[in-house]
Amino acid sequence: MCGIVAYVGSKQCQQLMLEGLKRLEYRGYDSAGIATIDHGKIRVVKTIGRVANLEDKLETVGAMRGTIGMCHTRWATHGGVTDFNAHPHTDDKSGICIIHNGIIENYASLKTYLEEKGHRFVSQTDTEVLAMLIGELYDGDLEAAVQAALRECTGAYGIVVMCEREPETLVAARKGSPLMVGVGDGEFLVASDGSAIISHTSQAFALEDYQVVKITPQGFRTSTIHNVPVTPKVQQLEIELEEIELGGYSHFMQKEIFEQPKALRNTFRGRFGIEDGRVVLGGLADHAKELVKAKRVVLLGQGTALHAAMIGRYLFEDLAKIPATSEFSSEFRYRNPMIEENTVAIAVSQSGETADTLAALIEAKDRGALALGVINVVGSTIARETDAGVYLRVGPEIGVASTKAFVGQVAALTLVAMWMGRRRYMSADQCSSLMKSFEQIPEKIERVLATDEHIKKVTQKYVDRENWLFLGRGYNYPTALEGALKLKEISYIHAEGMPAAEMKHGPIALINEGMPAVFIANRGRQYEKVMSNIQEVRARGGHVIAVATEGDENIRKYAEDVFYVPDIEEPLSPILTVVPLQLMAYHAAVLRGHDVDKPRNLAKSVTVE
């Protein structure tokens, strides 16, 4: 969720760390801070607001010297958005300094214990409690103190710690919050995301849960919190520097919308066996027999990933003839979910670190489900926790509001449904026909993107309206939810998505003169019913914006504005119909003067519950 960057080596590290932190700004945050050890003393500078605010403050107070340091962007959990609550935090005894992602759930009892020991706190955070606890346990060995402190903690953490008494040592640890160590030539970087370190090294290893690493310029040692040595696997980072730079675009969200044709070509590459009508998914091969015998599919997700999972439910029932449900991950694990024999649980997540989805997957797995993942980030926690899975291959997604990952998730779920369907009920001809249509999707998205200027002009007509409806049926009901979410996330316009037929069961009371109602009205099995719903809105003064199939001139009689998408088989249509909704949300945010890539209160990777 928050951003972590730390360094130990031979270079002056302030600018190096700040550059890395800027690459993590997309993750969402409300304050930033930096600390170094300068001539044996820890120096901390922090402020609310953006990294740019921190840079301004550093110009005022003076540059941070030192070849070891850490910096952080915070997304507030415990305590408000203040300078005191910003990271890094220090203890009051041993010269300990810490940055932390996650939540220490038992911080209150630990704080009471530490206050009884005489410690005095200056923030409302759980992180300062952890700093004090490490300081209380420190007796000259920072690694041992961190291990001992974490044995007393419950919750999630990705931490980096340094100490004045060991001025060449960083100690990092992880449980539930991603953390990796970049390995350079006599230098090491710790970060919560590979994009922060890729300009300095392409070699890195990820910490596993309950692991601790002690790092000095001479090398590193990795162990568990119980001091059992472990050997990490140093790997090549799969990120290219140009993938995380803007290029000629104004915002990362805009770039990623326009990258969708290329991203999907990567998703498809090597996965179509059109001649024999078979989808090729090597990640599922070892579990083919179990998947063929599947009696139920449970799809788990949050936010945009849940909307993809909801489309997945239609796909599995339609193409593979398997009963399927889509579930809020955050609700699933706190029920008493029924997992029958031969159930398949599929976790859908861009980052592969979504805390609720990870916990729900583990719950399903513990109850006997086969665990699959539809994930974008290679080597992420959910990817490692699953029995098998399918990577999206859409490349890094920097914009907080997901776009290309959503179409990648829908595409990957379609491939899995086809893979299972072909082994159960689909003929080779049926599968080949659908694959041929699938291959045309990138070119068809390019045709939708070519209408961007028209979409911008239509958006401008309605951008001052504060309440919108998004309505669809069947496969495109979840698309309506996703369109509403995109508008809410970045333009801060209230928008509600729902099945079109649900409108007259209450929400129709909301419609007033000129209210924008976005209908996904492409050709399909329920086209005529959607047209009836459009009439109901028009009769009450609502203004209809329709996403329709190319060539449908009839719809112009009933809609004030129309966005056209190419014709395609209904199961594949959400990948096309969502694109004009993404562009509309983007333009609404820009027209209203908002920071598109850093929407307020949001984080890219939600690693706390």
CA 334, CA 184: separation in Å to the nearest integer?
43
Residue 602 lies in a domain: no
Looking at the structure, do residues 148 and 71 belong to the same domain, yes or no?
Answer: yes
Cα dihedral: 491, 306, 350, 245 (round 10) = -20
* Chosen domain end from 439, 457, 472: 439
8 Å CB contact between 594 and 250: no
Exposed / middle / buried, residue 310 (Cβ in 10 Å: 0-12, 13-18, 19+):
buried
Give the pLDDT score at 27: 67
Range of the domain at 509: 446-597
Q: How many CB atoms lie within 10 A of CB 108?
A: 12
Looking at the structure, do residues 426 and 369 belong to the same domain, yes or no?
Answer: yes
**Percent of the chain predicted with pLDDT > 90:** 73
Looking at the structure, do residues 277 and 234 belong to the same domain, yes or no?
Answer: no
Residue with tokens 């953006």: 50
Any residues with CB less than 8 A from the CB of 368 and at least 6 apart, and which?
339, 341, 343
Q: How many CB atoms lie within 10 A of CB 453?
A: 10
Residue 291 lies in a domain: yes
* C-alpha angle 335-332-374 in degrees, rounded to nearest 5: 160
Q: How far apart are the first and last CA of the chain?
A: 11
Looking at the structure, do residues 503 and 426 belong to the same domain, yes or no?
Answer: no
For residues 417-424, give the mean pLDDT.
93
Q: What average pLDDT does the structure give for the chain? A: 92
pTM to 2 decimal places: 0.77
Looking at the structure, do residues 45 and 159 belong to the same domain, yes or no?
Answer: yes
Looking at the structure, do residues 233 and 299 belong to the same domain, yes or no?
Answer: no
Q: What is the CATH number of the domain that holds 344?
A: 3.40.50.10490
Q: In total, how many domains does the chain have?
A: 3
DSSP state of 186: S
Catalytic residue (one of 2, 13, 97, 431): 2
* Chosen domain end from 209, 240, 271: 240
- Whether 26 shows a pLDDT value over 80: the answer reads no
Give the pLDDT score at 145: 97
Looking at the structure, do residues 470 and 544 belong to the same domain, yes or no?
Answer: yes
Question: Is 604 in the active site?
Answer: yes
Question: Is 431 in the active site?
Answer: no
pLDDT tens column, 268-305: 999 998 888 889 998 898 999 999 999 999 999 999 99
Looking at the structure, do residues 493 and 592 belong to the same domain, yes or no?
Answer: yes
DSSP 91-145: -SSS-EEEEEES-BTTHHHHHHHHHHTT---SSS-HHHHHHHHHHHH-SS-HHHH
Any residues with CB less than 8 A from the CB of 335 and at least 6 apart, and which?
none
- From residue 51, alpha-carbon distances to 18, 29, 56, 80, 194 in Å are 8, 10, 9, 18, 18
Of residues 518 and 597, more confidence is placed in 518
Any residues with CB less than 8 A from the CB of 539 and at least 6 apart, and which?
none
Catalytic residue (one of 22, 214, 488, 604): 604
Q: What is the 3-state secondary structure (H, E, C) of 517-578?
A: EEEECCCCCCHHHHHHHHHHHHCCCCEEEEEEECCCCHHHHCCCEEEEECCCCHHHCHHHHH
pLDDT tens column, 213-228: 999 999 999 999 999 9
pLDDT tens column, 526-547: 889 988 899 888 888 889 999 9
Give the pLDDT score at 609: 59
Structure tokens at 319: 């193409």
Nearest partner of 580 among 392, 467, 445, judged by Cα: 445
Q: How confident is the model at residue 41 (pLDDT cuts 50, 70, 90)?
A: very high
Give the pLDDT score at 510: 85
Structure tokens at 185: 């030539």
Looking at the structure, do residues 178 and 252 belong to the same domain, yes or no?
Answer: no
CA 394, CA 142: separation in Å to the nearest integer?
40
Looking at the structure, do residues 418 and 537 belong to the same domain, yes or no?
Answer: no
Looking at the structure, do residues 60 and 117 belong to the same domain, yes or no?
Answer: yes
* Chosen domain end from 240, 257, 272: 240
Looking at the structure, do residues 236 and 254 belong to the same domain, yes or no?
Answer: no
CA 350, CA 357: separation in Å to the nearest integer?
11
